[in-house]
């Protein structure tokens, strides 16, 4: 099949090309994200492959359909950027990567937690300037602390296991309890109490209307003073402005995020020579107890291999008119 791949990067192309060796689809790479300004590039392509910050709203999908696209392949797990009702109305199939290495994201969440708690980023900058003072670098033992895992799917369960290895008390919060999580001997908190118990909150749930801004001003007011918040899932889970206020007051002791609510205009590109006009983001990164990475939690060889192989397999199945086991449908 002819496939238009949007938001493609140099490092990703080698994994897609490798996954495509047997299938021999005609992959056409575009650096730009998919939106109404770029959708014309997809004209004539039977399949379009997109990533997390590409826009597949009703207007874009209608333009894709008019151009002959019948398959939208997401090389990611989340699908909150796709209007599924519009896709169904147009008869367009949507597939995603249901799962890839859960260790990649869970381990990155742990890396953010450790870096924030032990001030690794600040120590690194100091020692490069030959400043070996330890003032302001005091952290706390994770052993014995309470870690709340919001979202107990595969990634959340892996993160929970790692935290158990540190000797933490681990509690889950999820409206859909996981047998895998409970098999670890762990229990769940209610919506009103999970923040109050947490020394650390780590988000591993999808972005849905129900989870949008699950961390908000009310949640943050209930957290233990000095708690650390980690988000490697989706930026919209956090009310960023409320989080900034909690950082300013000291209610929140640290923040480590790999995602940001308005990241589509920032992430996956080099803006080092430009002025960032997003004032909220600029305020966020001004705090010494905040670490932001640019949506790289999934970025391991193992995860990229699975993502690309799954995506190519779905495109092949569609081309061969076979059942799409990774299809996303309207509920």
Give the HSE-up count for residue 242: Cα atoms under 13 Å, Cβ half-sphere: 17
Q: Considering only the top CATH level, what class is 2-100+300-319? A: alpha beta
Q: Which residues of the chain have pLDDT under 50?
A: none
Output the 3-class SS for 152-211: CCHHHHHHHHHHHHCCCEEEEECCCCCHHHHCCCCEECCCCCHHHHCCEEEECCCCCCCC
Distances (CA, A) of 52 to 9, 79, 112: 13, 8, 21
List the catalytic residue out of 12, 107, 263, 313: 263
Give the C-alpha separation, 206 to 82, whole Å.
Answer: 14
> What's the confidence (pLDDT) of residue 2?
97
Task: Identify whether the C-beta of residue 49 lies closer than 8 Å to the C-beta of residue 310.
Answer: no
> What's the confidence (pLDDT) of residue 330?
83
H/E stretch holding 271: none
263 is catalytic: yes
Distances (CA, A) of 315 to 90, 93, 142, 153: 18, 10, 44, 26
> What's the confidence (pLDDT) of residue 304?
96
> What's the confidence (pLDDT) of residue 241?
97
> By 3-state DSSP, what share of the chain in percent is helix, strand and coil, each rounded to 5?
35, 15, 45
> What's the confidence (pLDDT) of residue 192?
78
Q: Which CATH superfamily includes the segment(s) 102-292?
A: NAD(P)-binding Rossmann-like Domain (3.40.50.720)
List the catalytic residue out of 204, 295, 309, 313: 295
> What's the confidence (pLDDT) of residue 331?
73
In three-state secondary structure terms, 302 is helix
In three-state secondary structure terms, 306 is helix
Q: Which of 191, 186, 221, 224 is nearest to 205 (CA)?
A: 191
Domains of the chain, residue spans: 2-100+300-319, 102-292
The distance from CA 124 to its chain's CA centroid, rounded to whole angstroms, is: 26
List the catalytic residue out of 12, 55, 234, 309: 234
Model-level pTM?
A: 0.89
Q: Which residues contact 233 (CB under 8 A, 6 or more apart)?
A: 151, 203, 204, 205, 206, 207, 259
């Amino acid at each position: 099949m002819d496939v238009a791949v949007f938001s493609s990067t140099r490092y990703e192309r080698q994994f897609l090309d490798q996954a495509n060796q047997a299938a021999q689809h005609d992959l056409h790479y575009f650096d730009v994200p998919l939106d109404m300004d770029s959708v014309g590039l997809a004209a004539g392509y039977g399949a379009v492959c997109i990533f997390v910050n590409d826009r597949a709203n009703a207007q874009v999908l209608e333009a894709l359909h008019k151009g002959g696209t019948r398959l939208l392949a997401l090389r990611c797990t989340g699908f909150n950027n796709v209007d599924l009702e519009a896709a169904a109305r147009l008869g367009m199939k949507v597939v995603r990567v249901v799962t890839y290495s859960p260790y990649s994201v869970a381990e990155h969440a742990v890396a953010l937690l450790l870096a924030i708690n032990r001030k690794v980023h600040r120590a690194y900058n100091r020692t490069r300037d030959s400043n070996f003072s330890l003032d302001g670098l005091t952290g706390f033992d994770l052993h014995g602390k309470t870690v709340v895992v919001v979202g107990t799917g595969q990634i959340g369960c892996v993160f929970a296991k790692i935290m158990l290895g540190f000797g933490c008390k681990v509690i889950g919060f999820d409206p859909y309890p996981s047998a895998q999580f409970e098999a670890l001997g762990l229990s769940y908190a209610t919506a009103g109490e999970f923040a109050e118990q947490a020394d650390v909150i780590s988000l591993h749930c999808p972005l849905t209307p129900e989870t949008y801004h699950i961390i908000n001003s009310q949640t943050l007011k209930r957290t233990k003073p000095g708690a650390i918040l980690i988000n490697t899932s989706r930026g919209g889970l956090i009310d960023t402005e409320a989080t900034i206020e909690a950082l300013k007051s000291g209610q929140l002791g640290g923040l480590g995020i790999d995602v940001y609510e308005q990241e589509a205009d920032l992430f996956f590109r080099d803006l080092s020579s430009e002025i960032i006009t997003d004032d909220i983001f600029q305020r966020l990164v001004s705090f010494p107890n905040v670490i932001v990475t640019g949506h790289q939690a999934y970025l391991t060889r193992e995860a990229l291999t699975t993502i690309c192989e799954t995506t190519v397999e779905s495109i092949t199945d569609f081309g061969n008119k076979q059942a799409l086991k990774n299809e996303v449908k309207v509920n």
